[in-house]
Amino acid sequence: MLHFIQRARTADIRVQIAIGVVLVAIAIVAPLVTSSFVISFFALTFPLAILALSADMMWGEGRLVSFGQGLFFAAGGYIGGLVLIGQQYDVSGSALSFLSEDTQQPLMDRVLQQLHDLAIAGVPIPALILPAMICGVVGLLIGMIVFRVASPEVYFPLVTLGMGVVGGLWFNDLSNVGASNGLGGIPSFTAEMGPQQDPIYNYMFNLAFVIVAFAGWAYFRRSRRGQIWRGAGDDAIRLEALGYSVRRQRVLAFGASAALAAVAGALYAGTSGFMGPSIAGVAFSAEVLIWVAVGGSGRVLGPLVGVLVVRWGQQFLSSNLGLQQSWQLFMGLALILVVVVAPGGLLGIRIEPLRKRLFERGEIKA
């Protein structure tokens, strides 16, 4: 039965690989012909694409919408940022700390310094591994609680919504990471490799992660485990009857999704040099869902397309048309439009009669 599903729902593997190779080739050659503004735009967008992918891991296959991805993204960014800096946020500035009588560094700072020095080829690897581990474990724990409920497709979004609100407030109050100011001055992952001003280093570093994440996801979808995970979203009761634990699938998927979001957050913090508490809030998490909805949930490239289209649109509207103020309004309208008119997103638009889609019952399907 699983073999049948695979044939029915995924495109020809050769076509997929060909598309992937062409995209990677374009991404590697593109910096040679574009301006450094475009390069830094993409360098900053790549971590967001990984974040969108982490949301679609839950949504596209498992039919579970998470309003808490931004929380894991921010947590990952803060943890990664602290390791990259090598010490906690210090309001007084480093110069003043010599004046205080207590010259002993706090334990937290010493640990962070140790982690910072565990670099491989100049890249502080713990800044990527630690966020993934911490957020992954938190995701598993929350998942173990949340997925006890009877209809998680309704309750999971609501619980993650609450998580996002609580997390946003908490980071806004946490002085170790700069509270409402946010954590600034985070050095880049590629700081040791070359001049910071050149965005090409960040671009290539983040591109590598995007390629690994999306290729890995495409591979996973075709694997046996990937098909079981898709089965959990398509028909949980039938999968349960086949002998699989749907709850176990969901818990593991949420842990993996949280870990991936955290890695994306660490990359983002390293690229932008800043992580703030508003990223942890629900508004940002909902924006992530808008990217996925616009691109098309349940498709490998959906999150990537969605992020690029929405972020480019934002850039275009605010710089060319001076509509920075009403950007939010456009996002809201776009979300309504996508949900009602094109549930499959940009990649899912087909030339079926629109009316049939509007009045059909059932969930959004890819």
Partner 1 sequence: MQTLINIIAQGLSLGGVYLIGALGLTIIYGVMGVVNLAHGELIMLGSYVMALTVSTVSFPVAVVLSFVLVAGFGVVLDTVLIRFLYHKPVASMLGTWGLAIVLRQVVILLLGPQLRYVALPIGGSFALGYGALVSWWSMLLFVVAMLIAVAIGLTLVRTRFGLKMRAVTANSDAAESIGIATRNINRWTFALGCGLAGVAGALVAPLRTVFPGMGLPYLVGAFLVVILAGLGNVRSTVIWSLLIGLTFSAVAITRDDITATIVVWCAALIVIAFRRTSVAVSRV
Interface residues toward partner 1, by CB under 8 A: 59, 63, 65, 142, 144-146, 148-151, 153-155, 157-159, 161-163, 165-166, 169-170, 172-173, 282, 286, 289-290, 293, 326, 328-329, 331-336, 338-340, 343, 358, 361-364
Question: Longest Cα pair distance anywhere in the chain, in angstroms?
Answer: 75
Closest to partner 1 by CB, 2 vs 329, is 329
* Cα(39)–Cα(31) distance, integer angstroms: 6
Closest to partner 1 by CB, 131 vs 281, is 281
Contact criterion met (CB below 8 Å) for 279 and 324:
no
Residue 323 CB, nearest approach to partner 1 (Å): 12
Closest to partner 1 by CB, 30 vs 174, is 174
Residue 8 CB, nearest approach to partner 1 (Å): 22
Residue 286 CB, nearest approach to partner 1 (Å): 5
Closest to partner 1 by CB, 190 vs 285, is 285
Helix locations, the chain, DSSP H:
2-9, 13-33, 36-56, 69-85, 107-117, 126-146, 152-171, 200-222, 224-234, 236-241, 246-272, 282-295, 302-320, 327-341, 354-359
> Which tokens hold the place of 220?
């996973």
Report the DSSP beta bridge partners of residue 275.
183
* Cα(281)–Cα(94) distance, integer angstroms: 30
> Which tokens hold the place of 75?
């947590």
Closest to partner 1 by CB, 62 vs 126, is 62
Residue 138 CB, nearest approach to partner 1 (Å): 12
Residue 332 CB, nearest approach to partner 1 (Å): 3
